[in-house]
């Protein structure tokens, strides 16, 4: 008896990929993932803020001003993480027409913009006592400001078309073009002479004391779980909005 051709059996990757593209399955996952992530985020952020402001020592040079770092650095990490995840989702949506990927980019854009805004504001507050000014056109600061404008531009672009799919496609193109700004942000302190300190927290040469790494880690994990909860909430909203539009148009 001859066996069936190998290509008639769907690949594991393809099966998983198709399964994840189903909004109904995502909603079932989100039903328990969102409240769990929100609860853990609240615990971690509460603990992180307590340790950051009441238990960690002041810096020997910056004093208590260094406590801004516990908000600024995790917000900066999440601003970059969110945009990279949106660009990947945009590519998947354009190439494979992955419904959930298309909606993901639109859903988390306001979250990424909020993280970037927090990064810019806390950076300005931190820079005033350190540099003597609220803002300088430093390479790192300027490239992060460009990132904020990319978020705002994407949100405006996806809603600028009567055809929702055209808006998503146009927004995906902007995300992919704007992705060139990510390595600029990352390596700006190495490529140019800037006021901004190098990104050395995760390196072996980090000068951050161990007592400061605990609250920083708690805040970073808290921000990540907060992102998961908000992403689930926003995706649920986008799925409901698309289904309502489809029913209104007679597609459901």
The string of pLDDT tens digits covering residues 97-108 is 888 999 999 999
Confidence class for position 196, pLDDT limits 50, 70, 90: low
pLDDT of 134 > 70? The answer is yes
Domain extents for the chain? 32-197+209-248
Cβ(53)–Cβ(67) below 8 Å: yes
By residue count, the chain amounts to 252
239/250 Cα distance (integer angstroms): 16
pLDDT average, residue stretch 1-9: 47
For residue 107, give the nearest of 97, 117, 99 by alpha carbon: 99
Question: Which tokens go with 121?
Answer: 């504001």
- Return the structure tokens found at 160: 């600028």
Q: What is the pTM of this model?
A: 0.89
**Over the stretch 73-103, which tens digit does the pLDDT of each residue have?**
999 999 999 999 999 999 999 999 888 999 9
């Amino acid at each position: 008896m001859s066996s069936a051709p190998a290509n008639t059996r769907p690949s594991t990757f393809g099966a998983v990929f198709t399964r994840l593209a189903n909004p109904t399955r995502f909603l079932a996952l989100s039903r328990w993932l969102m409240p769990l992530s929100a609860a853990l985020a609240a615990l971690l952020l509460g603990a992180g803020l307590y340790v950051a402001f009441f238990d960690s020592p002041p810096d020997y040079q910056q004093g208590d001003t260094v406590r801004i770092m516990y908000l600024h650095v995790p917000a900066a990490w999440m601003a970059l993480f969110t945009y990279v995840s949106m660009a990947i989702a945009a590519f998947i949506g354009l190439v494979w027409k992955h419904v959930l990927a298309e909606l993901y980019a639109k859903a988390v854009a306001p979250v990424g913009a909020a993280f970037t805004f927090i990064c810019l504001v806390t950076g300005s507050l931190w820079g005033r006592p350190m540099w003597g000014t609220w803002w300088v056109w430093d390479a790192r600061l300027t490239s992060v400001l460009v990132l904020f404008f990319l978020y705002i531009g994407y949100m405006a672009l996806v809603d600028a078309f009567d055809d929702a799919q055209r808006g998503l496609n146009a927004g995906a193109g902007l995300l992919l073009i704007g992705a060139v700004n990510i390595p600029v942000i990352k390596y700006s302190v190495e490529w140019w002479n800037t006021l901004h300190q190098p990104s050395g927290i995760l390196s072996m040469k980090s000068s951050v004391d161990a007592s400061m790494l605990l609250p920083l880690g708690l805040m970073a994990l808290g921000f990540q779980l907060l992102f998961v909860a908000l992403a689930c909430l926003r995706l649920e909203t986008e799925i409901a909005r698309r289904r309502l539009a489809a029913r209104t148009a007679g597609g459901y």
